[in-house]
Structure 1
């Protein structure tokens, strides 16, 4: 008798098949859920990976795969443009030379300049445009203290690395701000150096003639401090207009005071009439000025005779005269790239600032950030091509240049006649 006949096969085989079918369906469902879970987990992992990569690859302001944008500002027009535009041209020449050599880690430097005319009112607008519209990675600029003092708060708020080219006011870098560095000598350095040079020449009856704008005010207090430190009571301190036409009265006062050295805290527009009138009255003491009086040959033309500047000495951040063989390479580069420019110490300020910034960008590596750049700058030492001493920054002291050249007019040419390292 078969199982079916006994009632066993028919009754038991049907439920077993159903159970097997049910188990198969449950297994398929479980596999589907597992596949869905694996898919979800994989997508989540991929999303997390992409998210992490996106976080790591957040764009850096002013930096693309092929370019790095650097901002600059200064007087490109206006009465002081002849003092500032050459400085910015020096910076630009350094960057253009670097670009021709392949750039920085494969990126070309795009240098964008804004004109501030050396006016605080226009300077704030210029730097705001630079920060918010141009959006550079860093700034290499600033040629006048008057404008730079007004611009500083905007730069500090934006946390953009700033290498100052020519602005010298002490308040720009004292106390040190993490994002601000200067490759230019600070105001106190010039006046301390000016006085030290007079002392080194044996002068004892020191007078001071100064102009009362922001630039001059940034120097007169350090000059008083330098005089006090040297235990010198000035025979006369005379304030004059920024653009005087006649300084006969001032010259006669100095002559009556028997000054044997006059510290000139002046721009050329005031220095020329002083030197002209002093020569006219036969008053020719040692006269010592700062970096704005570096083009002594041009000043001589303004006075009408080279004899009027025979005792003029200028202290400047640059270490060489424009005709010095040491800077012949840069003279050729500037005159090629800017045919209308006459190479001078002002270009040298910009060249050193540009080289300083360029080296910081190189040291920051192929993935630069602003934080990396300020970290590099805060401990960087380098010798530029146009300064006689090194640029050396340390934490807490971002006045990185402290060696000044002393210049005079010799045989119709501006010549370096010494150097000094002023100390407070």
Structure 2
């Protein structure tokens, strides 16, 4: 019988295959419509929106369910009469987390499907390749599924708005927590080799630059992270911060087990969904014939999040989204990743409602900039005329042995510069107070 480490080595190799197969009078903001004509994708009864998502490829494990959660919310909205009398048609294109494919499918959505807006296009390396195109075409590009700072550039890209907590803010919150709770410990970084990693380090370095002993990047096209993890081990890193998408977070967990390395893992929100990670760790290991307990391997991992957790049963928003889940997609696991898509769709629907019956692209952008979009996140959006960043803060949690999550630090907010990381305690509005329909 093979040893557990050799079996895991085969599992990691098999995970490469799995990850590759898979399991973001008008001004130019109404480009494509002449004065007096409706915006593209809009009729009296329908508004057509589109997105590019990794339904296959290295980011598919976990992320492929985001659009499933979003569609459930749109189905709920449509069954309740739509927004301002219009049903939402949601077109999802698979780009495989491949930037070349992203360009192809986004142009299809704009030129062939004539969508009103691109909503939640996913990925830093992917969406960055269509940013200028969407700006030039005047297509609203809202709630981008990435925390890169690129999306917050109102002067250069007035149609683009972020959604999730940006990587620099998150890095600051993580950095301060590590400085306060792991003082003197050696820290290693494993980050994606693009703006994900660059922006994260801008935040971390404000607090723990002197503690960092090794920095390593990974390429989503190469699922062997053994060299990187081994280098962190060799450097003596006692705490490892992983700014990793779910598949690579799972690979990191299995790799540390394979080489006998036991650092304290600190995980960013993009890969910190316990349910998704548990499933991926067990699935990847099973591919190589290993039987592991994903829950046991996740015990003690520290993560950050800015949305309500599916483990927060007393949270009004969790209860609300669980009701939509049970009615429209009961066959799907109710995970934080699924809720990510649900919150995104709810937020877009809220902006669409605020844009009014006489819908134009500019009115949607005005609604996004109004500062009136609230809930369901744990902290507010940064949205305003001169700020297109998404959520502004997060809490810190730890995954417990029984699979629950324990809050270690309540939500804090900060900026993308050198401002203070400060506590945030304002009461969130309930679903009843931010009602879309009914």
- Compute the TM-score of the two structures, normalised by the length of structure 1: 0.77
In structure 2, the partner of 1:346 is 337
Does the alignment pair 1:408 with 2:398? Answer: yes
In structure 1, the partner of 2:299 is 310
Uncovered stretches (5+) of structure 2, i.e. residues with no partner = 1-33, 283-291, 418-438
Does the alignment pair 1:226 with 2:203? Answer: yes
Q: Aligned ranges for residues 240-279 of structure 1 at < 5 Å?
A: 240=218, 242=220, 243-245=222-224, 247=226, 250-251=228-229, 253-279=231-257
In structure 2, the partner of 1:284 is 262
C-alpha distance after superposition, 1:146-197 (max 9, x if no partner): 2111121221111111212422222233465211112211222232232222
d(CA) in 2 for partners of 1:175 and 1:59?
A: 24
Q: Aligned ranges for residues 109-124 of structure 1 at < 5 Å?
A: 109-124=88-103
Q: How many residues align?
A: 366
Does the alignment pair 1:196 with 2:176? Answer: yes
Instruction: State the secondary structure of the residue aligned to 1:118.
Output: coil
Q: Which of 178, 181, 196 is 2:158 aligned to? A: 178
The Cα shift of 1:401 comes to 0.8
In structure 2, the partner of 1:51 is none
Choose 374-383 or 412-421, whichever is displaced more. 412-421
- Compute the TM-score of the two structures, normalised by the length of structure 2: 0.75
CA pair 239-141 structure 1, distance change in 2 beyond 3 A: closer
Contact preservation (8 Å) 2:370, 2:384: yes
Q: Which of 250, 268, 272 is 1:294 aligned to? A: 272
The Cα shift of 1:263 comes to 0.9
Contact preservation (8 Å) 2:394, 2:413: yes
Q: Which of 183, 187, 211 is 1:207 aligned to? A: 187
CA pair 401-416 structure 1, distance change in 2 beyond 3 A: farther
In structure 2, the partner of 1:381 is 372
The structure whose RCO (Cα within 8 Å, separation 6+) is larger is: 2
CA RMSD, aligned part only? 2.7
d(CA) in 2 for partners of 1:337 and 1:155?
A: 32
Instruction: State the secondary structure of the residue aligned to 2:128.
Output: helix
In structure 2, the partner of 1:40 is none
CA pair 244-360 structure 1, distance change in 2 beyond 3 A: closer
CA pair 390-211 structure 1, distance change in 2 beyond 3 A: closer
d(CA) in 2 for partners of 1:129 and 1:314?
A: 37
C-alpha distance after superposition, 1:225-276 (max 9, x if no partner): 33442263211223355444463x6555444534332111223333334333
CA pair 252-394 structure 1, distance change in 2 beyond 3 A: same
Contact preservation (8 Å) 2:62, 2:246: no
The structure where helix makes up a greater share of residues is: 1
Instruction: State the secondary structure of the residue aligned to 1:235.
Output: strand
Contact preservation (8 Å) 1:209, 1:262: yes
In structure 2, the partner of 1:31 is none
CA pair 240-61 structure 1, distance change in 2 beyond 3 A: closer
Instruction: State the secondary structure of the residue aligned to 2:125.
Output: helix
CA pair 314-182 structure 1, distance change in 2 beyond 3 A: same
Contact preservation (8 Å) 1:196, 1:422: no
In structure 1, the partner of 2:147 is 168
Instruction: State the secondary structure of the residue aligned to 2:42.
Output: coil
Larger Rg: 1
Contact preservation (8 Å) 2:146, 2:163: no
Contact preservation (8 Å) 1:183, 1:356: no
CA pair 312-128 structure 1, distance change in 2 beyond 3 A: same
In structure 2, the partner of 1:29 is none
